Amino acid sequence: MGTPDPELFPLPVWRRLLTAEWRAATIRTAGYRDAAGHHGLREAVARSIGRSRSVRATAADVLVTHGAQQALDLVGRVLIDPGDVVAVEDPGYPPARHLFHSLGARVVSVPVDREGLDVNALPGGARLVYVTPSHQFPLGTPMSLARRAALLDWAGRHDAVIVEDDYDSEFRFSDRPLDPLHSLDRAGRVVYVGTFSKTLLPLLRVGFLIAPASLRPALHAVKRLTDWHGDPVTQAALARFIDSGELPRHVRKATRTYAARHELITEALAGDLAEWLDPVPSTAGLHVCAVLRPDAPADIPAVVTEARRLGVAVEDLASYCHETPRPGIVLGYGAIPTDRVPAGLARLTRSFRAVTKR
Ligand SMILES: Cc1ncc(COP(=O)(O)O)c(C=O)c1O
């Protein structure tokens, strides 16, 4: 779930770029660097997300991080005092919830419906709202335009900051998606967070944030205090990877592969599995979610265990729910070869059958 396919990673290109960066000239200037990260990478990220996500930014706006997780940590350290309220989606991304909790926040769960986060249910005093508008984690639905506008309006009225985690929307299987909250934000309320964990590999540990100007000095100071500047060699290689056009090429190729897997799963959800599951519409990313039909009671934890016994890893949607349990499953397709998807789906169907017969 959520893991990209390591077989798709362009290893020879990456190895060549990395070797090229490990040259004497790099070492000779081996002092500490800017805590905001490698300048070339910041420029490349700004250009690339301008093109792919309509995010308006310059290199000066970009702070390179160790993945999205460190971006959330930095924002939390700057904005959260112990006891402050942080609103997160329910169901949602547990590492974000746990992180904000670890920083002393009072984390409040806000339900998500078909349009995304229920803005009317936001707690009045929230200092920070963490959302995944492009591809809600884990349901997969995009936040509607009306909800995006309402959330920005809410943040303005309550002097809150929105953290927009745009973790996997590079892989999309239909028309151009809605622009990120960041590009609708006229009041400097949104911190945009991106990562290369899905487009490339989580082990690279490279992500970034784009913050409103008012937060930038504090974020820069906290980055320097907690970590300094990450790995400039990897960052320089990544800059070249983006600038040479390898990244969009890789994303296009990977998108074709993931689209085929997504289609196979969507077909099965509309076919054999429709007896038990209703798919949650989703046209991006590395996973799909399906909820249990109200007229088809099945013990989801038992199905997940049975599927695992048969060699298929699916996730129980309940493990992402905090206050509002929803019976359902989440199917990741990043790490399974396309030709094994049909057999996996057949085994999942068998698991449902076995469990509902008991
Ligand atoms: C919602 C969400 N945000 C961010 C990430 C990526 O985090 P990182 O960049 O720290 O690897 C993931 C990966 O699973 C995710 O699901």
- Spatial separation of the C-alpha atoms in residues 147 and 194, rounded to whole Å: 21
Q: What pLDDT is recorded for position 24?
A: 67
- Spatial separation of the C-alpha atoms in residues 343 and 41, rounded to whole Å: 41
Burial class (CB in 10 A: 0-12, 13-18, 19+), 89: buried
Please give the structure tokens belonging to residue 76: 């939390």
Residue 294 alpha carbon to ligand 1 centre in Å: 31
Q: What pLDDT is recorded for position 256?
A: 96
* Atom in ligand 1 nearest the alpha carbon of residue 195: 9
| CA nearest neighbour of 48 among 312, 284, 240, 288 | 240
The answer to whether the CB of 159 falls within 8 A of the CB of 191 is no
Q: Beta strand 106-113 with 315-316: parallel, antiparallel or unpaired? A: unpaired
Residue 11 alpha carbon to ligand 1 centre in Å: 22
Beta strands in 72-225 (DSSP E): 85-90, 106-113, 116-117, 126-131, 161-165, 190-195, 207-210
Residue 69 alpha carbon to ligand 1 centre in Å: 7
- Spatial separation of the C-alpha atoms in residues 72 and 53, rounded to whole Å: 20
Residue 136 alpha carbon to ligand 1 centre in Å: 12
Q: What angle do CA 53, 59, 63 make, to 5 degrees?
A: 85
Q: Whose CA is nearest to atom 2 of ligand 1?
A: 167
Q: What pLDDT is recorded for position 30?
A: 67
Distance, C-alpha 71 to centroid of its chain: 12
Ligand 1 pocket member 69 (CB < 6 A): yes
Q: What pLDDT is recorded for position 358?
A: 64
Q: Around Cβ 157, how many Cβ atoms within 10 Å?
A: 9
Ligand 1 pocket member 199 (CB < 6 A): no
Could you read off the pLDDT tens digit of each residue along the chain, which spans 358 residues? 889 999 999 999 999 999 999 886 677 776 888 999 999 999 999 999 999 888 999 999 999 999 999 999 999 999 999 999 999 999 999 999 999 999 999 999 999 999 999 999 999 899 999 999 999 999 999 999 999 999 999 999 999 999 999 999 889 998 777 889 999 999 999 999 999 999 999 999 999 999 999 999 999 999 999 999 889 999 999 999 999 999 999 999 999 999 999 999 999 999 999 999 999 998 889 999 999 999 887 899 999 999 999 999 999 999 999 998 899 999 999 999 999 999 999 999 999 999 987 6
Q: What pLDDT is recorded for position 283?
A: 87
**Residue of 137, 191, 192, 330 to test ligand 1 pocket, by largest number of atoms within 8 Å of CB:** 137
For the chain, residues classed under CATH 3.90.1150.10 are 248-357
Ligand 1 pocket member 99 (CB < 6 A): no
Q: What pLDDT is recorded for position 237?
A: 95
Please give the structure tokens belonging to residue 133: 């508008």
Residue-wise burial string across 245-261, b where 16 or more C-beta atoms lie within 10 A, e elsewhere? ebbeebbeebbebbbeb
CATH number among 1.20.1250.20, 3.40.50.720, 3.90.1150.10, 3.40.50.920, domain 248-357: 3.90.1150.10
**Residue of 45, 69, 204, 227 to test ligand 1 pocket, by largest number of atoms within 8 Å of CB:** 69
Q: Whose CA is nearest to atom 6 of ligand 1?
A: 68
Q: What pLDDT is recorded for position 252?
A: 95
For the chain, residues classed under CATH 3.40.640.10 are 10-246
Distance, C-alpha 291 to centroid of its chain: 21
Distance, C-alpha 220 to centroid of its chain: 23
Residue 197 alpha carbon to ligand 1 centre in Å: 7
Q: What pLDDT is recorded for position 226?
A: 96
Q: Whose CA is nearest to atom 14 of ligand 1?
A: 2
The domain defined by 10-246 folds into Aspartate Aminotransferase; domain 2 (3.40.640)
Which strand (E) or helix (H) includes residue 61? none
Ligand 1 pocket member 165 (CB < 6 A): yes
Please give the structure tokens belonging to residue 150: 């309402």
